[in-house]
């Protein structure tokens, strides 16, 4: 009988840190247009179910000890539930979003207004298209910066100036994974999970060199938005359908926390899309 040795990092103690999140109730959630491959206006959306699923996610963050503030939903903006796209916050500096598609453009000003009203002194309206934490993911002292479908590559230099962090540009090539946070998850300052096939070959090489101990994700788990997850360094909140990824995380010493956001996946989002981290 062949025994399977545990992964060398399995015995590493994973430490959770308390986070501050911004979320928005899917009060007006709908799929009335298609701006990504997941959106099918002809498929009915159960808004009550979406609200219940979203509330489970909110309560999960609270039960894990995190702070959750709420952005007031606005009629006519059905994608506001995906707050992660509305800004990037590092060391209390807020780089606002500029959306590529006009259907979401008005969300950017709502996010900026919330941060100003919450007392953030530096809230910047960007010149170039960037879709917040959808494509700008802070890890350690750098930011992984996605491009290819939404965020303008010129926004990376702008983000470096505003946030004071080096940017590592990564090119996405699969339209199903149109934002970086659909193809890659930050697990802690040293560890990521990712789907190599979603990236250009040069970007794959960059990630393999920088994160040699990364968790490689099965395409089937990526297809249920398994990588659109939220980690506090120990607990990883991820779609319940990503069972293989949950097992791989547990083998590495993380604690997977499955939630069902299948209704919100109809708009092209998962736990991370619904969770903007406020790093103050």
DSSP 172-218: B--GGG-SGGGTEEEEETTEEEE-GGGB-HHHHHHHHHH-TTPEEPP
Selected catalytic residue, list 24, 61, 273, 274: 273
Please report the pLDDT score of residue 3 as a whole number: 39
- Residue 178 inside a domain? The answer is yes
Please report the pLDDT score of residue 8 as a whole number: 60
- Residue 3 inside a domain? The answer is no
Residues 92-131: tens digit of each pLDDT: 999 999 999 999 999 999 999 999 999 999 999 999 999 9
Number of domains in the chain: 1
**Both structure tokens of 263:** 């209704």
Cα 185 to Cα 106: distance, rounded to the nearest angstrom: 27
- The pLDDT of 162-185, averaged and rounded, is 98
- Residue 13 inside a domain? The answer is no
- Residue 1 inside a domain? The answer is no
Domain span including residue 30: 20-277
% residues pLDDT > 90 (the chain): 95
- Residue 95 inside a domain? The answer is yes
- Residue 175 inside a domain? The answer is yes
Q: Is 235 a catalytic residue?
A: no
Q: Is 24 a catalytic residue?
A: no
Is the pLDDT assigned to residue 2 strictly greater than 50?
no
- Residue 216 inside a domain? The answer is yes
CATH label of the domain that carries residue 210: 3.75.10.10
Please report the pLDDT score of residue 12 as a whole number: 77
- Residue 10 inside a domain? The answer is no
Is the pLDDT assigned to residue 67 strictly greater than 60?
yes
**In whole numbers, what is the pLDDT of the chain averaged over residues?**
96
Selected catalytic residue, list 61, 179, 235, 274: 179
């Amino acid at each position: 009988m062949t025994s399977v040795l545990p992964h060398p990092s399995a015995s590493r103690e994973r430490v959770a840190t308390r986070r501050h999140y911004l979320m928005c109730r899917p009060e007006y959630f709908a799929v009335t247009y298609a701006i990504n491959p997941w959106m099918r206006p002809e498929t009915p959306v159960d808004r009550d179910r979406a609200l219940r699923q979203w509330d489970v996610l909110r309560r999960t963050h609270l039960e894990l000890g995190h702070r959750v503030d709420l952005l007031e939903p606005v009629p006519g903006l059905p994608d506001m539930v995906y707050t992660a796209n509305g800004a990037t916050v590092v060391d209390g500096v807020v780089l606002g979003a500029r959306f590529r598609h006009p259907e979401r453009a008005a969300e950017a000003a709502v996010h900026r207004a919330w941060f100003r009203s919450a007392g953030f002194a530096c809230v910047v309206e960007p010149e170039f298209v960037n879709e917040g934490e959808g494509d700008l993911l802070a890890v350690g002292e750098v930011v992984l910066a996605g491009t290819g479908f939404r965020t303008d590559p010129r926004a990376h230099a702008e983000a470096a100036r505003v946030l004071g962090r080096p940017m590592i540009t990564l090119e996405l090539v699969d339209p199903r994974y149109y934002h970086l946070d659909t193809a890659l998850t930050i697990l802690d300052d040293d560890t990521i999970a990712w789907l190599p096939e979603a990236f250009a070959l040069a970007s794959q090489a960059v990630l393999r060199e920088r994160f040699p101990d990364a968790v490689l994700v099965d395409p089937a788990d990526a297809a249920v938005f398994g990588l659109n997850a939220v980690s506090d360094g120990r607990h990883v909140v991820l779609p319940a359908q990503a069972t293989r990824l949950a097992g791989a995380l547990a083998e590495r010493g993380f604690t997977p926390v499955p939630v069902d956001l299948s209704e919100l996946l109809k708009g092209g989002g998962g736990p991370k899309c619904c969770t903007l981290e406020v790093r103050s």
